[in-house]
Amino acid sequence: MFDQIKIVLVGITHPGNIGAAARAMKTMGLSQLALVQPKQFPCAEATARATGADDVLAHAQLFDNFTASIQDCHLILGTSARQRSIAWPVLTPRACAEQTLTIPHSKVAIIFGREHSGLTNQELDQCHAMVQIPTSQSFGSLNVAAAVQIIAYELRMKSEELQVTPEGNLKKNSLVIPASAAAMTQFYQHLEQTLIDIGFLDPLKPRRLMRRLHRLFNRTQLIDSEVNILRGILTAAQEQCRRHKP
């Protein structure tokens, strides 16, 4: 069940943190690690801090951009320490584990950002929801490997809980596997083009509109049949424009 869960570390500068994160993952039974633009990797310090979890490091996938790292995933959850002003759905680590483990047969990415600045808004835009680890209000400086440890711990707690409950629990949500990131990318391109065609979006003006629409539809976790309906609507709107053009 944990093979479907990918931990994605974005822009980590201290290799020790990568090793510590790998160890944190392995203690809880996770093995799928992806690294986006690590400053230094592979690295002796990472291996040293992994202390026995070097197999996780050896199998880590390397990516040079964030979008590429999540293409095969159906549910993308971004961790964040800060309160953001914009309305992402916010999950606790416990709710994150619940969401992750009750969607069977689909790949989930849980994203951790840079040591000092976390994830960018552009990266969070590609997430379905934000996971916020509760911290002290006066000192929220959680180490990235410690954050991985907490999330992985909650996944383990939840999986142990699920193993003692009837299978019915898992079947419940089998119809609501979210669309893949690739399908969502195509949907957003179609949406953007349609908004241009109907004159709602000026491609020369800033893209805050698309960011807001990304956030809106990402947090909905569209399933394939819904993406098809929405793209059908977009096509119908585009045809209206074309039909009447001289």
Cis amide linkage into residue 42, ω under 30° from 0 = yes
The yes or no reply on residue 53 touching a copy of itself (CB under 8 A) is yes
Q: Given the complex with a copy of itself, which of 63 and 102 has the nearer CB atom?
A: 102
Q: What is the 3-state secondary structure (H, E, C) of 214-230?
A: HHHHHHHCCEHHHHHHH
**Alpha helix positions (H), 110-172:** 121-124, 144-163, 168-171
* Coil, strand or helix at 57: helix
Query: Among 8, 108, 110, 222, which residue interacts with a copy of itself (rule: CB under 8 A)?
Result: 222
Closest CB to a copy of itself among residues 72, 160: 160
Tokens of 105: 């047969």
Are 46 and 57 spatial neighbours (Cβ–Cβ below 8 Å)? yes
Residue from 3, 72, 160, 202 binding a copy of itself (CB under 8 A): 160
By the rule CB under 8 A, 231 interacts with a copy of itself: no
Q: Token pair of 180, please?
A: 């893949």
List residues near a copy of itself by CB under 8 A: 20, 23-24, 26-29, 51-53, 85-87, 89-90, 92-94, 133-136, 139-143, 145-146, 149-150, 153, 156-157, 160, 173, 175-176, 195, 198-200, 209, 212-213, 216-217, 219-220, 222-223, 225-226, 229, 232-233, 236-237, 239-241, 243-244
